[in-house]
Every structure is written in C-alpha cells, then in structure tokens.
Structure 1
C-alpha cells in the first residue's frame, strides 16, 4: 500500500512539473529563428550577460507570439490592429527598459534609432 501511495505521489509530482514547463510561448520555426537572431543582435549591441539574454529572449518570444495573435485577430480591422500593435510595442519597451542598466538603455536608444523598422515590422515579416 505504501508503494502504491508513493508511486501515485511521484506520478502526480512529475505531471505537475511537466505542466509547469509548458507555460512557454510556442512560435513557428521561422518566428523562433527570427526571434533568436533579433535577441543575438540585441545581446551584442547591449552587452547583455547570460541572465539578461535569457530575459530579453523571453520578452522577444512573448512579443512575437502576441504580435501573431493580434495580426490574426484583427486581420480585417486595420485601425484596431495598428492601435493594438502600438500598445504592445509600448509595453514591450517598458518591460525591456526595466531590465536594462542605464548604459544598456543608452545603447538600446542608439540601437533603436539606427534600425529602419519598428519591432512590429520585424515580427510581421515572419
């Protein structure tokens, strides 16, 4: 009986751990590649350490996923789509700025000014 109880507890704990790990955002292979490229470029420009890189990549993945959701949901309503994308980009920037040091923030401002397209344009390309 003890073995059965211990086995049940083990199975439930294993299942709960696997469910906790599925909270990660799913992207298409193309979007995942573009997200990795963008994060790598940002990492080089902003001199991110490993923890910062992981956090920025998570932000980028979330941004790519939400952009895809907005593009699909507001396909026929251009005004609403543009407004939602602008709001999303603003939130992304706020979250990113909260992660960066003052020096990195300065580098990000310069990085963004040298980029031709906004983050939304980058994600729409996939």
Structure 2
C-alpha cells in the first residue's frame, strides 16, 4: 500500500513539474522568432544565442503574465513591463561586446520607431484639413 501511495505521489510530482515547464505554442513561436531576428541582427555566436533565448523566454513569459494580471490597470502594467524590459536590457547588454552593443542600441531604436508607428496607425487621429497651394495654369 505504501508503494502505491509513493508511486502516485511521484507520478503526480513529475506531472506537475512537466506542466510548470510547459508554455503555450504561441509564446514559444514568439521566443524563437524574436531570438532568431535579434541573433541575426547582432551577429551573435552560439553561446550568446542560447543566453539570449533564455532571456527572451523569461521576458516574454513575464510580460504575458503581467498583461494577464494587470490588464485592468494600464499604469501599473506599463510600470511592470518597463521593469521587465530594463531587467532584460541589463542582463543582455552584459554579454555583448562593444560592436554588438552598438548594433543592439540601433536595433532597439528601430523597433521603438516601428512600435510608435504601429501605435499611431491603431489609433488614428481625426483627419486634419490639408492646405494645398495649387497654382492655376493659364
């Protein structure tokens, strides 16, 4: 009887441990895509790629969790997201050489511009009249 309970306990333990490590396929796809793009842009070696993938995994999972927990409070969510991004930047920049660090700075700025453009297209402002200076041809 003790062996049965012990077997059930061990099976339950490993089952829960496996579920804790399981992430959604969409999160895994985002992690892989982001890591591949960044590794290509920054010309990372294999060891740096592995570290980046680990950092991206941590960042995306935490961001997803924050988005779920604080969806009702945009200010708290923004503060928590900034904290996650700052932590990521601190850990990631520690493994980069100076050339990669410069490339990462350019990469971040390019993506910030893209994110701003995407945000502007999602919430279009009211159309403003455009002044035209048309000359009549005689």
TM-score, length basis structure 1: 0.71
* Alignment partner of 1:43 is 2:73: no
Structure 1 residue 57 displacement after superposition: 0.4
1:73-92 map, 5 Å? 73-92=69-88
Q: Distance in 1 between matches of 2:34 and 2:23?
A: 14
Gapped regions of structure 1 (runs ≥ 5) = 1-17, 122-126
1:99 is matched with which residue? Answer: 95
Q: CA RMSD, aligned part only?
A: 2.5
Structure 1 residue 25: deviation in Å? 5.3
Q: Residue deviations 1:5-46, cap 9 Å, x none?
A: xxxxxxxxxxxxx8xx96x85431011111111100111111
Higher Rg: 2
The number of aligned residues is: 101
Q: Given the two structures, how large is their TM-score scaled by the length of structure 2? A: 0.65
How do 1:29-40 residues align onto structure 2 when only pairs under 5 Å count?
Answer: 29-40=25-36
Relative contact order, higher structure (CA 8 A, sep 6+)? 1
